[in-house]
Chain A
Amino acid sequence: MIAGLVLLIGGAGVGLFGSLLGLGGGILLVPLLTLGFGRPLREAVAISLVSVIVTSSAGAGVYLRRHVANLRLGMTLELFTACGALLGGLVAFALPGPVLEGLFALLLGYVAVSMLRRREPARAAAPTAQTEPAIDADGPLVEGARDGFTTPSPSLPAAPSEPATPDAATALDFTAHLSGPGYRVTHLGLGTVGAVFAGIVSALLGVGGGIVKVPLMTLAMNVPLKVATATSNMMIGITATSSAVIYLLRGEINPYIAGPVAIGVFVGASIGTRVINRIDTRVLRWLFIAVLLLTAVQMAAKAVSR
């Protein structure tokens, strides 16, 4: 019973921490379960996938109700993330554990460096940022929240907006069909290739893949940041499901652990979205970077020592 409570609290911490910093739970949950609770990596990845589907579904519901996510673009890209996830889910069972741990250590290092490169979040946000919803990369909708990870920065500029022209000519163009209010989607081919990669990363490592999809959509496809983060969140559901069913049918999901963790992540993420405006995330961010780097070293050491 105490172990269940500890798992629930651990999941809540991951959900809270992740939502405050604009990340999905996977990047934190997998190390927590493997290094903290000594669970096998594949089981941790499987449980993480379930948890990110929960937060993705809850968040996507809100995004779609508010028409922030681009359903047409998301569904087109998720066809390719799902293909990548199918591939990644199969590869995950062929790769030795230490290789997966090494890959996860690399991902942790990459996320830490990405966060270091982001500018400090502006606490005195512009009026538009206070009134319009801000969205984290993988988690639920964050009202008026801004953090250093999801705010457009010099290295991640907001995409230029071009007015969409829904005349008869562009209606025949599939790319125009995927565009949204005030922007036109570009480089769909590049987007599909990147989406396959995001799906593979998600399935192999149990993360949402927002770290790949959001920059891809904003930098390469001309999608505004808010739409990209909301659309990425929505896509996680089917991407993670494509690989999670493989883990489920292969017996890698332990319901006694997945249950408390999923509830914890859901509750933690919900609390995080409500308190984010009252918390200075700058200190939290530095702490998080330190935790990521430390975890990366531990994960790499574990991979090498076996």
Chain B
Amino acid sequence: MSVTRRGVETPVSDAAFAIEATIARLLVLGTYTAIGMVLLGVIGMALTGVDPLGVATAPSFDLGRIPADILALRPEGFLWLGLVLVLALPIGRVVVAGLGFLAARDGRLALVSLLVLLVVTGSILAAMGLEG
């Protein structure tokens, strides 16, 4: 399983290289997509004359309302979608890594990935608990 990189014997396998390359593509493409969405929202803000520092109440986050806002070309729809993508990217990275570790039969790191996802889920539940 070990490979030689720069002449140094390492415990890094080809599978690990493949996981890293897949995650790298996900992160780069995902970042550009997220920034693209946010940019559309900012352009929408400029076109509709939204003053970000002047609005009394900022639009609240409602995941279910994002598709309708986007279809109605409301800037907050694009902004929220972009921001949600930003937050989802690291989670996606952990999911891909976990599946990759599982495929490579690396049970310990697959378990670590699962635990990381559980902590993030815990954050969401805790926030919902605080909200309620």
Across the two chains, which residue of chain B brings its CB closest to A240? B90
- CB-contact partner of A241 in B34, B80, B97, B120, under 8 A: B120
CA distance A79 to B21 in the complex (A): 22
Chain B nearest Cβ from A93, distance in angstroms: 7
Please tell me if A246 contacts chain B, counting CB pairs below 8 Å: yes
Please tell me if A166 contacts chain B, counting CB pairs below 8 Å: yes
Please tell me if A254 contacts chain B, counting CB pairs below 8 Å: yes
Across the two chains, which residue of chain B brings its CB closest to A5? B46
CA distance A54 to B27 in the complex (A): 10
Q: How many residues of B contact A (CB 8 A)?
A: 70
- Most-contacted residue by chain A among B24, B76, B108, B109 (CB, 10 A): B24
**A177, B11: Cβ atoms closer than 8 Å:** yes
**A61, B45: Cβ atoms closer than 8 Å:** no
Across the two chains, which residue of chain B brings its CB closest to A75? B112
**A3, B52: Cβ atoms closer than 8 Å:** yes
- CB-contact partner of B27 in A7, A60, A76, A266, under 8 A: A60
CA distance A253 to B80 in the complex (A): 10
**A266, B90: Cβ atoms closer than 8 Å:** no
- CB-contact partner of A64 in B27, B82, B87, under 8 A: B27
CA distance A81 to B111 in the complex (A): 16
Across the two chains, which residue of chain B brings its CB closest to A60? B27
**A238, B94: Cβ atoms closer than 8 Å:** yes
**A57, B90: Cβ atoms closer than 8 Å:** yes
- By Cβ-Cβ distance, the 4 closest A-B pairs, closest first, are A237-B90, A61-B27, A256-B52, A61-B28
